[in-house]
Amino acid sequence: MKDTGSGRLAILAGRGELPWIAAREALARGEQDLRIFCISDEEPPEDLRDFAEPVVLTRLYSSVFRSFRRHGIKRLLLLGKATRDILYNKPRFDVRTVLLLARMLSQSDYALFENVAREVDKLGITIINQDEYLQHLFLQPGRYGKKLTTEQLKDIEFGLQHAREMNRLDIGQTVVVGKRSVLAVEAAEGTDQCIVRGGDLFHNKGAVVCKLSKEQHDLRFDIPATGSATLDSMARS
């Protein structure tokens, strides 16, 4: 079993704030040789630019993995949004990445992540859990906000039943319901757009959002959490 506590740390950073938050926490803990490999077109914050460089996600071998080897990376953190539209917008893959994708049984997020994880392991790199440098962001379990009404509780029970089935099918984690009707289910568009779509169908009159983690959730690839952007989407819906 690999030692997850030693060796040079890298963050493969998608869209959003989480990669930068984790990077600052890692630096605060003494990870001064941190590297951040950016797969989105978002500019890194000024205080982290010296640690960051761009890579091309669709060229795993000729760009991403080559950068890992060049910098002697031993631990890897996957953070930020990397939506599946990258597979559909006429991407330019290197040959070995095409062969890797051809081995996938489906184009689900987990199928991609698990195949990439196996290739990363061959490089002697350990993928660590996404919450390793984000624990300070999490709330304690409990209810936040107003007491739920009887109707809302019924919608929650109904929504969770459908969310479990969506998880089983590996489609998405989120279901939006209202008056025991399914308004929207999460697919490739992501949680926030699913919520807005469901809210629009319910005329923004208080739809209920149900989100569940997978039964055997792998924290290396995803944190089943609700962030500020998702809460804003709920408030608008």
Sequence spans of domains, the chain = 8-137, 150-236
More confident residue, 171 or 129: 129
Band (pLDDT 50/70/90 cuts) for residue 84 is: low
Is 60 exceeded by the pLDDT of residue 106?
A: no
Can you give the pLDDT at residue 12?
A: 95
C-alpha distances out from residue 13 to 82, 109, 161, Å: 9, 16, 33
Is 70 exceeded by the pLDDT of residue 110?
A: no
User: In the structure encoding, which two tokens stand for residue 15, read together?
Assistant: 């869209």
More confident residue, 232 or 208: 208
More confident residue, 181 or 15: 181
d(CA 199, CA 47): 38
Is 80 exceeded by the pLDDT of residue 59?
A: yes
Can you give the pLDDT at residue 227?
A: 82
Fold type of domain 150-236: Cytidine Deaminase; domain 2 (3.40.140)
Q: What share of the chain is helix, strand, coil (3-state, %, to 5)?
A: 45, 15, 40
pLDDT tens across 116-144, in order?
A: 888 899 999 999 999 999 999 998 888 88
Can you give the pLDDT at residue 2?
A: 40
Q: Locate all alpha helices (DSSP H) within the chain, ordered by sequence.
A: 18-28, 66-71, 95-102, 109-122, 150-168, 191-201, 228-236
What share of the chain in percent tops pLDDT 70? 88
10 phi, psi to nearest 5 deg: -130, 150
Q: What is the value of pTM for the model shown?
A: 0.78
Under 8 Å CB-to-CB from 153, ≥6 apart: which residues? Answer: none
Can you give the pLDDT at residue 3?
A: 42
Arithmetic mean of pLDDT over the chain = 87
Can you give the pLDDT at residue 156?
A: 96
d(CA 62, CA 140): 42
More confident residue, 158 or 93: 158
Is 60 exceeded by the pLDDT of residue 64?
A: yes
- The 3 state secondary structure assigned to 110-156 is HHHHHHHHHHHHHCCCEECCHHHHCHHHCCCCCCCCCCCCHHHHHHH
Eight-class DSSP state of 41 = S
Domain 8-137: top CATH class: alpha beta
Can you give the pLDDT at residue 22?
A: 97
pLDDT tens across 12-56, in order?
A: 999 889 999 999 999 999 999 999 999 888 899 999 999 999 998
For residues 222-228, give the mean pLDDT.
82
